[in-house]
Protein backbone atom coordinates (compact mmCIF):
# COMPACT_ATOMS: atom_id res chain seq x y z
CA UNK A 1 0.00 0.00 0.00
CA UNK A 2 1.36 3.41 -0.99
CA UNK A 3 1.50 5.77 1.93
CA UNK A 4 3.15 8.70 0.16
CA UNK A 5 3.09 9.42 -3.54
CA UNK A 6 4.76 12.37 -5.27
CA UNK A 7 4.50 13.15 -8.95
CA UNK A 8 6.53 15.92 -10.59
CA UNK A 9 6.67 17.61 -7.18
CA UNK A 10 8.27 21.05 -7.12
CA UNK A 11 8.91 23.69 -4.49
CA UNK A 12 10.19 27.15 -5.21
CA UNK A 13 10.97 29.78 -2.59
CA UNK A 14 11.03 33.47 -3.24
CA UNK A 15 14.15 35.22 -1.98
CA UNK A 16 13.68 38.91 -2.68
CA UNK A 17 13.11 39.15 -6.43
CA UNK A 18 14.65 35.78 -7.13
CA UNK A 19 12.92 32.41 -7.32
CA UNK A 20 14.98 29.70 -5.64
CA UNK A 21 13.96 26.18 -6.61
CA UNK A 22 14.34 23.79 -3.67
CA UNK A 23 12.69 20.72 -5.20
CA UNK A 24 12.57 20.27 -8.97
CA UNK A 25 10.00 17.83 -10.27
CA UNK A 26 10.63 14.70 -8.21
CA UNK A 27 8.63 11.49 -8.41
CA UNK A 28 8.62 8.86 -5.68
CA UNK A 29 6.37 6.52 -3.79
CA UNK A 30 6.76 5.24 -0.24
CA UNK A 31 5.10 2.05 0.92
CA UNK A 32 3.43 1.72 4.30
CA UNK A 33 5.63 0.34 7.07
CA UNK A 34 8.91 1.12 5.32
CA UNK A 35 12.08 2.70 6.74
CA UNK A 36 13.04 5.40 4.27
CA UNK A 37 15.89 7.90 4.13
CA UNK A 38 16.27 11.00 2.03
CA UNK A 39 19.97 11.73 1.78
CA UNK A 40 22.04 14.37 0.14
CA UNK A 41 24.18 17.40 0.88
CA UNK A 42 22.88 20.51 2.62
CA UNK A 43 20.52 22.43 0.35
CA UNK A 44 19.69 19.36 -1.71
CA UNK A 45 15.99 19.66 -0.80
CA UNK A 46 15.56 16.77 1.62
CA UNK A 47 14.19 18.87 4.51
CA UNK A 48 11.88 20.67 2.09
CA UNK A 49 10.52 17.32 0.94
CA UNK A 50 9.98 16.23 4.52
CA UNK A 51 8.18 19.49 5.31
CA UNK A 52 5.86 19.02 2.36
CA UNK A 53 5.10 15.40 3.30
CA UNK A 54 4.46 16.61 6.87
CA UNK A 55 2.01 19.31 5.67
CA UNK A 56 4.24 22.01 7.12
CA UNK A 57 4.85 23.46 3.67
CA UNK A 58 2.84 23.55 0.45
CA UNK A 59 4.16 22.28 -2.90
CA UNK A 60 4.58 24.86 -5.65
CA UNK A 61 3.65 22.33 -8.31
CA UNK A 62 3.01 18.69 -9.02
CA UNK A 63 1.01 16.32 -6.89
CA UNK A 64 1.61 14.98 -3.40
CA UNK A 65 -0.71 12.56 -1.67
CA UNK A 66 -0.17 11.33 1.86
CA UNK A 67 -2.51 8.62 3.13
CA UNK A 68 -4.68 9.21 0.07
CA UNK A 69 -5.04 12.90 0.93
CA UNK A 70 -3.99 15.63 -1.48
CA UNK A 71 -2.05 17.59 1.11
CA UNK A 72 -1.56 20.58 -1.21
CA UNK A 73 -5.23 21.38 -0.75
CA UNK A 74 -5.19 21.47 3.05
CA UNK A 75 -5.50 24.87 4.68
CA UNK A 76 -3.68 25.75 7.93
CA UNK A 77 -6.32 24.35 10.23
CA UNK A 78 -6.95 21.20 8.20
CA UNK A 79 -3.21 20.59 7.89
CA UNK A 80 -2.84 20.82 11.68
CA UNK A 81 -5.67 18.36 12.14
CA UNK A 82 -4.18 16.00 9.54
CA UNK A 83 -0.77 16.12 11.21
CA UNK A 84 -2.30 15.54 14.63
CA UNK A 85 -4.14 12.45 13.44
CA UNK A 86 -1.58 10.84 11.17
CA UNK A 87 1.94 12.19 11.46
CA UNK A 88 4.54 12.16 14.21
CA UNK A 89 7.62 14.35 14.18
CA UNK A 90 11.12 13.80 15.53
CA UNK A 91 13.34 16.86 15.43
CA UNK A 92 17.10 17.24 15.42
CA UNK A 93 16.85 19.49 18.50
CA UNK A 94 14.23 17.26 20.19
CA UNK A 95 11.87 20.24 20.73
CA UNK A 96 10.35 18.87 23.90
CA UNK A 97 8.20 21.24 25.95
CA UNK A 98 10.52 22.46 28.71
CA UNK A 99 7.89 22.87 31.44
CA UNK A 100 6.52 19.35 31.06
CA UNK A 101 8.02 16.10 32.36
CA UNK A 102 8.95 13.22 30.06
CA UNK A 103 5.60 11.60 30.89
CA UNK A 104 3.70 14.82 30.15
CA UNK A 105 5.58 15.47 26.93
CA UNK A 106 4.55 12.04 25.66
CA UNK A 107 1.02 12.61 26.94
CA UNK A 108 0.78 16.05 25.28
CA UNK A 109 -0.53 14.94 21.83
CA UNK A 110 -3.20 12.80 23.51
CA UNK A 111 -4.56 15.83 25.41
CA UNK A 112 -3.85 18.86 23.27
CA UNK A 113 -4.07 17.32 19.82
CA UNK A 114 -6.38 14.36 20.25
CA UNK A 115 -8.74 13.90 23.14
CA UNK A 116 -8.09 10.57 24.80
CA UNK A 117 -9.88 9.66 28.05
CA UNK A 118 -7.58 9.77 31.12
CA UNK A 119 -7.44 6.04 31.85
CA UNK A 120 -6.69 5.06 28.26
CA UNK A 121 -4.19 7.91 28.05
CA UNK A 122 -2.32 6.79 31.16
CA UNK A 123 -2.12 3.22 29.91
CA UNK A 124 -0.82 4.34 26.54
CA UNK A 125 1.80 6.72 27.92
CA UNK A 126 3.02 4.10 30.40
CA UNK A 127 3.37 1.58 27.58
CA UNK A 128 5.29 4.07 25.45
CA UNK A 129 7.61 4.95 28.35
CA UNK A 130 8.35 1.23 28.78
CA UNK A 131 8.82 0.77 25.04
CA UNK A 132 11.46 3.50 24.86
CA UNK A 133 13.02 2.52 28.20
CA UNK A 134 12.22 5.78 30.00
CA UNK A 135 10.02 4.60 32.90
CA UNK A 136 12.65 5.65 35.45
CA UNK A 137 12.87 9.16 33.99
CA UNK A 138 9.12 9.63 33.56
CA UNK A 139 8.93 12.55 35.99
CA UNK A 140 12.04 14.36 34.89
CA UNK A 141 11.87 17.51 32.85
CA UNK A 142 13.83 17.87 29.58
CA UNK A 143 16.61 19.89 31.25
CA UNK A 144 17.22 16.90 33.54
CA UNK A 145 17.62 14.44 30.64
CA UNK A 146 20.58 13.60 28.39
CA UNK A 147 20.38 14.11 24.63
CA UNK A 148 19.67 10.43 24.03
CA UNK A 149 16.97 10.37 26.68
CA UNK A 150 15.35 13.45 25.17
CA UNK A 151 15.28 11.81 21.76
CA UNK A 152 13.75 8.68 23.26
CA UNK A 153 10.99 10.83 24.69
CA UNK A 154 10.61 12.51 21.29
CA UNK A 155 10.28 9.11 19.61
CA UNK A 156 7.62 8.10 22.13
CA UNK A 157 5.79 11.40 21.59
CA UNK A 158 5.86 10.88 17.82
CA UNK A 159 4.36 7.41 18.14
CA UNK A 160 2.00 7.75 21.08
CA UNK A 161 -1.06 8.81 19.09
CA UNK A 162 -0.84 5.85 16.71
CA UNK A 163 0.74 7.92 13.97
CA UNK A 164 0.89 6.08 10.67
CA UNK A 165 3.89 8.09 9.55
CA UNK A 166 6.86 9.48 11.47
CA UNK A 167 9.04 12.15 9.92
CA UNK A 168 12.48 12.53 11.43
CA UNK A 169 14.66 15.43 10.35
CA UNK A 170 18.30 14.58 11.16
CA UNK A 171 17.26 12.73 14.34
CA UNK A 172 20.77 11.62 15.23
CA UNK A 173 22.65 14.79 14.34
CA UNK A 174 22.95 15.98 17.94
CA UNK A 175 23.72 12.58 19.45
CA UNK A 176 26.99 10.74 20.01
CA UNK A 177 27.70 7.58 18.06
CA UNK A 178 26.46 5.02 20.59
CA UNK A 179 23.36 7.01 21.51
CA UNK A 180 22.51 7.58 17.86
CA UNK A 181 22.83 3.86 17.24
CA UNK A 182 20.55 3.03 20.17
CA UNK A 183 17.94 5.57 18.98
CA UNK A 184 18.02 4.06 15.53
CA UNK A 185 17.56 0.58 17.00
CA UNK A 186 14.68 1.91 19.05
CA UNK A 187 12.98 3.33 15.98
CA UNK A 188 13.43 0.07 14.10
CA UNK A 189 11.98 -1.82 17.05
CA UNK A 190 8.98 0.52 17.20
CA UNK A 191 8.47 0.19 13.48
CA UNK A 192 8.49 -3.60 13.96
CA UNK A 193 6.01 -3.44 16.82
CA UNK A 194 3.65 -0.78 15.46
CA UNK A 195 4.11 -1.01 11.70
CA UNK A 196 4.71 2.75 11.50
CA UNK A 197 6.39 4.21 8.42
CA UNK A 198 9.58 6.16 9.20
CA UNK A 199 10.96 8.76 6.80
CA UNK A 200 14.29 10.41 7.63
CA UNK A 201 16.30 13.19 6.18
CA UNK A 202 19.89 12.50 7.10
CA UNK A 203 23.57 12.67 6.49
CA UNK A 204 24.19 9.88 8.95
CA UNK A 205 25.73 6.74 7.35
CA UNK A 206 24.24 4.60 10.15
CA UNK A 207 20.73 5.56 9.10
CA UNK A 208 21.65 5.09 5.47
CA UNK A 209 22.84 1.57 6.28
CA UNK A 210 19.67 0.74 8.16
CA UNK A 211 17.22 2.34 5.69
CA UNK A 212 15.33 -0.03 3.44
CA UNK A 213 14.87 2.64 0.80
CA UNK A 214 17.25 5.52 0.16
CA UNK A 215 16.41 8.47 -2.03
CA UNK A 216 19.43 10.53 -2.95
CA UNK A 217 18.85 14.18 -3.71
CA UNK A 218 21.04 16.85 -5.22
CA UNK A 219 20.04 20.39 -6.11
CA UNK A 220 16.40 19.52 -5.61
CA UNK A 221 16.49 16.59 -8.02
CA UNK A 222 16.11 12.93 -7.18
CA UNK A 223 19.29 11.27 -8.40
CA UNK A 224 18.82 7.68 -7.33
CA UNK A 225 16.57 5.51 -5.28
CA UNK A 226 18.01 2.39 -3.77
CA UNK A 227 16.20 -0.45 -2.12
CA UNK A 228 18.32 -2.34 0.42
CA UNK A 229 15.90 -5.23 0.50
Partner 1 sequence: MNKIMEIAARNLLRYQRRTLLTSMLIVIGVVAVLLFVAITGSFKQMMVGQITDSMLGHAQIHRRGYVASIESLPLNMNMPPAMVARVTKALEEEPMIEAVAPRVKFGAMFSNYTETTSVRVNGIDPETEVKVTPLLAERQLDGERKGPLLKRGEMLVPVLVARGLKVQAGDTVVLIATNKDGSVNGKNFVIRGSLESATGPGGRDSYIHIDDARELLRMAQPDVSEFVVRVKDAQKVEAVSARLAESVGGLTNKEGRPMLEVHPWQRLSPFANIANMIDMLTLAIKVMLVSIVLVAVMNVMVMAVYERIREIGAISAIGTPPSRILALFLAEGLMLGVLGTVVGVLLSLGAIYALNIWKITFAFGQQQGLLLAPAIAARDVVVIAGMVIVVAILASLQPALKASRMDPMTALRHV
108 lines the binding site for partner 1 (CB under 8 A): yes
116 lines the binding site for partner 1 (CB under 8 A): no
Cα(81)–Cα(85) distance, rounded to whole angstroms?
Answer: 6
CA dist 179 → 160, 173, 196, 197, 201 (Å): 21, 11, 22, 22, 18
Residue choice 113, 138, 173, 208 for contact with partner 1 (CB under 8 A): 113
Residue 123 burial by Cβ neighbours in a 10 Å radius (0-12, 13-18, 19+)? exposed
Lay out the site mask for partner 1 across 77-106 (x = CB under 8 A, - = otherwise). x--xxxxxx-xxx-x-x-xxxxxx------
Measured from the CB atom, the residue of 85 and 206 that comes closer to partner 1 is 85
For residue 205, give every residue at least 6 positions away whose Cβ sits within 8 Å of its Cβ, in sequence order, or none.
Answer: none
Q: By CB under 8 A, how many residues form the interface with partner 1?
A: 30
Lay out the site mask for partner 1 across 125-164 (x = CB under 8 A, - = otherwise). --------------------------------xx------
Measured from the CB atom, the residue of 74 and 208 that comes closer to partner 1 is 74
Cα(229)–Cα(106) distance, rounded to whole angstroms?
Answer: 33
Q: How many CA atoms lie within 13 A of 182 on its CB side?
A: 14
- Interacting residues with partner 1 (CB under 8 A): 51, 54, 56-57, 76-77, 80-85, 87-89, 91, 93, 95-100, 108-109, 111-113, 157-158
Amino acid sequence: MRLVHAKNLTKTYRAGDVDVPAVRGVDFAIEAGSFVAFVGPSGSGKSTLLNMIGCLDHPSGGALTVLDTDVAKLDRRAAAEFRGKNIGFIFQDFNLIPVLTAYENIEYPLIMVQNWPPAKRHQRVTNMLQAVGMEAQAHKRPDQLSGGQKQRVAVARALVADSKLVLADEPTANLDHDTAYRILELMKKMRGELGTTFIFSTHDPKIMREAEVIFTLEDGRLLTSKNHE
